[in-house]
Chain A
Amino acid sequence: MTGIVALYIFMLAAFTGYEVIARVPVILHTPLMSGSNFVHGIVLVGAMVALGNAVTPLEKAIGFVGVLLAAGNAVGGYVVTERMLEMFKSSGAKKAGGSQGAH
């Protein structure tokens, strides 16, 4: 990947992130923050590559810690976000027999 292509990706992704959540209601701020926290858990794939290419014991040790932390970020972020969003129901969905209100 050349530098300029990376810059394009960077710029477009920045606009995307801004637009995607620009109209989010306050009631979803906490779950959304948790959700975006989960998304940067993608650092796990980078940590895996770093550890996969580590050679010296020091690199392996740091890489191991990196993967450990990244896995915690991804899994923990997923679990708490899912737990929070699972509880959001409308009164309509409740009367219809407690369906999840999402599909």
Chain B
Amino acid sequence: MQELFTAEALIQGSYLLTAFLFIMGLKRMSSPVSARSGILWAGAGMLLAVLVTFLYPGMTNYPLIIAAIVVGSAVAWWSGRRVAMTDMPQMIALYNGMGGGAAAAIAAVELYKGDAHGLVTMVLAVIGGLIGAVSFSGSAIAFGKLQGLIKRSFRFGGQQVFNLALLVGALVLGGLIALGINASPAIITAFFVVALVLGLTMTLPIGGADMPVVISLYNALTGLAVAFEGFVLGNAAMIIAGTVVGSAGTLLTQLMAKAMNRSLGNVLFSGFGDSGGTASGEVTGSMKPIEATDVGVMMAFASKVIIVPGYGMAVAQAQHKVWELTQLLIDRGVTVKFAIHPVAGRMPGHMNVLLAEAGVPYDLIADLDEINAEFDTADVALIIGANDVVNPVARNDKSSPIYGMPILNADKAKNCIVVKRGQGAGFSGIENALFYLDNTRMLYGDGQKAAAELIGAVKAVG
């Protein structure tokens, strides 16, 4: 008995320390200076928690536990090391879905065993299982969409009614289980099947552009599911970590939705994200092409250049060349800044990661609020692979689907240079009025090739 007590105390004390390390880690991760150490703190907490859990009294199946940890860790380590930075959003979705699946699995084991007692415990086990299962299958769809495995959005008439029916079905089955009316294995199985299907049908109609918000939402939901299952197991570390992620994730989801000018309800229930046919508003004027050598001269003798990178730059793998160009200009005494729109990458902050990968220091990178006033004083705005985020119709055309979205005021710069492959419209299919302005010139070509030409042109200036 004495020995059991000390093991218990060691476990609980370690979990407390883990919770502390997680919170401090997240805190450090919210500033670029200390971010790197944040993940190390959190990692140490995780390692500690997992190690002491092996001391849990009364556990069996150790070979199975170790085998599952080894296999799961090895696969995740291998995939995490080799994933390209451009594919990071879908990888986060995948790992997040695994966490949701694990929470659902805990709920399933507890419910099949019939060990959980008390109304509150049963209700939380069921709700955690529902959320975890939805997050699991929903995240899998999010991964498939961003990875390009699922190309189209599946929509049919009455889809929302159908989803609502599924949700009600899951809640009724869950209610039967939680209230102890019928907790037979068949009912439990049916409950999890309905929950998994709900995750699929909820996520399938959502367009690719909205997916980051959805991933963030599922991240918060998984946190909640983990907290609920932590209550069921009486595990304080899970309750604290899960709840912290649940609330931090909710805030992050709101910030992202706001940055994209979308409300959460809109994202989940309207399906604009990949609408191709809503292009509106004819634009008058013509696109005026320019040669790289002229742009090179223009930038070499500028006092201030603002670069507006978009996802197209990352797809063309042009960020290294763009950084090389930036260094050339800085050496000539030109002030160069990067203006990042919140949705410049696949999700807010993604572009910063891609630029960091190329070696661009974070203090050259400014976000929308910081940089927008500076376009007035910029000689050149170089827009590379970005489109909708610099479209002035968002400011003045009420009929446009992107009306009201905060944009980068690139049109205010003395000269706008747009690097673009062809004359097509952007991700949303909306014509870009910026391309037709008098102070805009189009530099046609692949991002990587155009950046290389610009480097040559600046060097030629001498």
Chain A residues packing against B (C-beta within 8 Å): 1, 3, 6, 9-10, 13-18, 20-56, 58-60, 62-94, 100-103
Cross-chain contact A69 with B98 (CB below 8 angstroms): yes
| Shortest Cβ gap from B35 to chain A (Å) | 5
Set of chain A residues within 8 Å of B80, measured between Cβ atoms = 75-76, 78-80, 83
| Interface residue total, chain B, C-beta cutoff 8 A | 123
Set of chain B residues within 8 Å of A102, measured between Cβ atoms = 33-37
Cross-chain contact B245 with A39 (CB below 8 angstroms): yes
Cross-chain contact B89 with A63 (CB below 8 angstroms): no
- Pick from B35, B94, B230, B252: contact of A33, CB below 8 A: B252
| Shortest Cβ gap from B252 to chain A (Å) | 6
Q: Is B88 an interface residue (CB 8 A)?
A: yes
- Pick from A17, A27, A83: contact of B243, CB below 8 A: A17
B:232-256 near A, CB below 8 Å: 233-252, 255-256
Q: Is B71 an interface residue (CB 8 A)?
A: yes
- Pick from A18, A27, A79: contact of B248, CB below 8 A: A18
**Which single residue of chain A is at the shortest CB-CB distance from B81?**
A79
Cross-chain contact B105 with A9 (CB below 8 angstroms): no
Set of chain A residues within 8 Å of B229, measured between Cβ atoms = 43, 46
| Shortest Cβ gap from A49 to chain B (Å) | 6
Cross-chain contact B364 with A28 (CB below 8 angstroms): no
Cross-chain contact B88 with A64 (CB below 8 angstroms): no
Given the known interface contacts A41-B46, A79-B80, the answer about A49 and B233 at a Cβ–Cβ threshold of 8 Å is yes
| Shortest Cβ gap from A41 to chain B (Å) | 6
**Which single residue of chain A is at the shortest CB-CB distance from B135?**
A40
Interface of A is mostly: helix
| Shortest Cβ gap from B387 to chain A (Å) | 19
Chain B residues packing against A (C-beta within 8 Å): 18, 22-23, 25-27, 29-40, 42-43, 46, 49-50, 53-54, 56, 58-62, 64-65, 67-69, 71-73, 75-77, 79-81, 83, 85, 88-89, 91-92, 94-96, 98-99, 101-106, 108-110, 112-113, 115, 120, 136, 185, 215-216, 219, 222-223, 226-227, 229-231, 233-252, 255-256, 259, 340, 342, 345, 347-350, 352-353, 356-357, 359, 361-365, 367-368
| Shortest Cβ gap from A97 to chain B (Å) | 14
Cross-chain contact B243 with A35 (CB below 8 angstroms): no
Cross-chain contact B112 with A58 (CB below 8 angstroms): yes
Set of chain A residues within 8 Å of B252, measured between Cβ atoms = 21, 24, 29, 32-33, 36
Cross-chain contact B39 with A14 (CB below 8 angstroms): no
Can you name 29 A-B residue pairings with CB atoms under 8 Å?
A: A9-B239, A21-B251, A26-B255, A26-B340, A30-B350, A30-B353, A33-B216, A33-B249, A34-B92, A36-B249, A43-B229, A46-B230, A52-B65, A59-B109, A62-B109, A64-B64, A65-B68, A66-B105, A66-B109, A70-B102, A71-B72, A73-B95, A75-B72, A76-B94, A79-B77, A79-B81, A88-B35, A91-B364, A102-B35
Cross-chain contact B353 with A35 (CB below 8 angstroms): no
**What are the 10 tightest A-B residue pairs by CB atom distance, in nearest-first order?**
A66-B105, A71-B72, A52-B59, A79-B80, A29-B349, A76-B76, A17-B247, A70-B102, A30-B349, A67-B68
| Shortest Cβ gap from A92 to chain B (Å) | 8
Cross-chain contact A89 with B356 (CB below 8 angstroms): yes
- Pick from A6, A36, A52, A73: contact of B56, CB below 8 A: A52
**Which single residue of chain A is at the shortest CB-CB distance from B218?**
A37
Given the known interface contacts A16-B23, A37-B95, A82-B39, the answer about A60 and B102 at a Cβ–Cβ threshold of 8 Å is no
- Pick from A21, A59, A62, A67: contact of B30, CB below 8 A: A21
Q: Most A CB atoms within 10 A — which of B31, B72, B113, B223? A: B72
Expressed in whole angstroms, the Cα–Cα distance for A46 and B237 within the complex equals 9
Expressed in whole angstroms, the Cα–Cα distance for A86 and B353 within the complex equals 10
Set of chain A residues within 8 Å of B109, measured between Cβ atoms = 50-51, 53-54, 59, 62-63, 66
Interface of B is mostly: helix
Set of chain B residues within 8 Å of A28, measured between Cβ atoms = 29-32, 35, 349, 352
Set of chain A residues within 8 Å of B33, measured between Cβ atoms = 90, 101-102
Set of chain A residues within 8 Å of B240, measured between Cβ atoms = 9, 13
Q: Most A CB atoms within 10 A — which of B85, B242, B244? A: B244
| Shortest Cβ gap from B185 to chain A (Å) | 8
Given the known interface contacts A69-B101, A78-B39, the answer about A37 and B92 at a Cβ–Cβ threshold of 8 Å is yes
Cross-chain contact A84 with B88 (CB below 8 angstroms): yes
Q: Most B CB atoms within 10 A — which of A3, A56, A59, A75? A: A75
Given the known interface contacts A16-B23, A50-B109, A89-B362, the answer about A44 and B50 at a Cβ–Cβ threshold of 8 Å is yes
Q: Most B CB atoms within 10 A — which of A25, A33, A78? A: A33
- Pick from A16, A46, A72, A100: contact of B226, CB below 8 A: A46
Expressed in whole angstroms, the Cα–Cα distance for A53 and B59 within the complex equals 6
Expressed in whole angstroms, the Cα–Cα distance for A94 and B323 within the complex equals 14
- Pick from B56, B105, B136, B185: contact of A47, CB below 8 A: B105
Set of chain A residues within 8 Å of B136, measured between Cβ atoms = 69
Cross-chain contact B247 with A14 (CB below 8 angstroms): yes
